[in-house]
Amino acid sequence: MRRKGIEVMKISKISRSIRMCTTFCLIPGYISFCLVIYLQIVQYDKICPAEKNSYTMVERNTYSQNKTGDWFVLKCQSQRMILNYSTKPQPRTSPEGRAGRAEYNKAKGDGRKMRIAHNNSQDNDANGHTLRLHNTNNYGKRIILPYDFNWTINEPFKCHNIDGSNREVYFLVLITSVHAHVSKRNAIRKTWGSPKEIHDRKIVTLFLLAKNTEIKKQLLIEKESKHYKDMLMGDFMDTYKNLTLKTLMGIKWATSFCPHVKYIMKTDDDMYVNYGNMIMHLSDPKTPTSNYVFGDVRNAKPIRNPRSKNYMPFEEYPGEKYPPFCSGTGYVFSGDVALKVYKAAHNIPFIYLEDVFLGICLLSLQIKPVTHEGFYTKRTSYSYCKYKKSFTIHYVNPEQMQKIWVDQKTLKGYKCD
């Protein structure tokens, strides 16, 4: 028994020694790890000075497309993106931290000046929004139209006859889409997007896309384009942050290849659009033929929550309210507005929220968007009479498009109260 007790004591001493050795071995490793992290932070501060990090999201996209620079710059940009999402910078004692805090306070002061000018302005519309664009020093520093895109897929003769002369086009419909939404595009082609003419008014329908990094998807789109000849594609990446670029691409196409069109519509591929009602409204003698924009007009405030899909940093838009803008799900404007908006876009700080950006362009042009009750931008349960009177319906999948299309034609003679 005594021998066994001695053996147990020896084993416990050995295990204790092992634990002590392990602890002494881990401590230097832990110190080394902390030292490496510290050196990385110091290295980041040296590589990424404040003046080299003030990139916007679109600048980063453009930078990645051009594939210039080195890995460290890309690393700086990705880390800076997280820092830019903070609406209020954390206090720091470094010169960069003090400069950032001073810039934030200046932006906040400029925003206050903007609000004062907004409240004191006598040139307001019915909703109390000023009709002139107040550019502050901070707001004016933002990047302007960051990427001059080119066409990778184009249909330059959609608005022309065989001999090259202008073909009369009354209504041009531009539908934003992405590579994966093949079923949505096919459903639109078979249903509401199929008419080429209504009441002798010529209609052209085109889909707006951008580049995809996957070669297989890109090849499928090119094949689809050759078959249907109704697609436009710009040479920038197809991301949510580039939706403004995609819309401007469609407006640029209209000004370049269809400048004689009477009215233009921008909508999405999850919408149901009633061309008949739209043509009837546009053909009404009371409908304006110039400086006319209508849709579901919003009077919204910027969302300052970084977790939101529509987050707007204070330094990118310091105002308390956006100017009136039409919901991006669907809006219509007269042909002359296209060129005016495209020109204005070259003088206005870029914002990735496409409908808000268009609203700012319209504000600078002194054009007030008009609300029409025919635009349903929220999820709406199906009703034959309700859909019959509408211009647009949101959140419609391909199966529903087919059902609505057949139903509206089958019950065409049905009278609604």
Q: What is the tens place of the pLDDT at every residue in 254-308?
A: 999 999 999 999 999 999 999 999 999 999 999 999 999 999 999 999 999 999 9
233 pLDDT above the threshold of 60: yes
Amino acid in the structure at residue 359 = G
Residue 139 binned pLDDT confidence (cut-offs 50, 70, 90)? very low
**pLDDT (0 to 100) of residue 55:** 32
The C-alpha atoms of residue 184 and residue 178 are separated, in whole angstroms, by: 10
- Within a domain: residue 363? yes
Tell me how many degrees the CA angle 47-51-52 measures, rounded to the nearest 5.
Answer: 50
Question: Would you state the structure tokens that stand for residue 325, as one six-digit string?
Answer: 């803008």
Is the CB of residue 266 less than 8 Å from the CB of residue 222? no
CATH for 384: 3.90.550.50
114: left (phi > 0), else alpha (psi -120 to 50), else beta? alpha
- Within a domain: residue 50? no
Q: Is 401 helix (H, G, I), strand (E, B) or coil?
A: helix
List the alpha helices (DSSP H) in 177-242: 182-190, 215-228
- Within a domain: residue 242? yes
The C-alpha atoms of residue 220 and residue 401 are separated, in whole angstroms, by: 23
Across the strands, what pairs with 209?
233
Q: What is the mean pLDDT of the chain?
A: 76
Over range 56-76, report the average pLDDT: 31
Q: Higher-confidence residue: 322 or 91?
A: 322
Domain total in the chain: 1
List the alpha helices (DSSP H) in 345-397: 354-364, 384-389
pLDDT tens digits along 372-388: 999 999 888 888 888 99
Across the strands, what pairs with 143?
none
Sign of CA dihedral 179, 180, 186, 189: negative
- Within a domain: residue 238? yes
Question: Would you state the structure tokens that stand for residue 251, as one six-digit string?
Answer: 């407006």
Q: How many CB atoms lie within 10 A of CB 118?
A: 18
Tell me how many degrees the CA angle 143-146-148 measures, rounded to the nearest 5.
Answer: 150
pTM above 0.85, yes or no: no
pLDDT tens digits along 7-56: 445 455 555 655 555 555 556 555 655 554 454 444 434 333 333 333 33
- Within a domain: residue 15? no
- Within a domain: residue 88? no
Domain of residue 185 covers: 149-410
Q: Higher-confidence residue: 30 or 411?
A: 411
- Within a domain: residue 227? yes
Q: Higher-confidence residue: 325 or 117?
A: 325
Cα torsion for 19, 22, 26, 27, to the nearest 10°?
A: 60
- Within a domain: residue 81? no
Q: How many CB atoms lie within 10 A of CB 125?
A: 13
According to DSSP, residue 168 is labeled: P
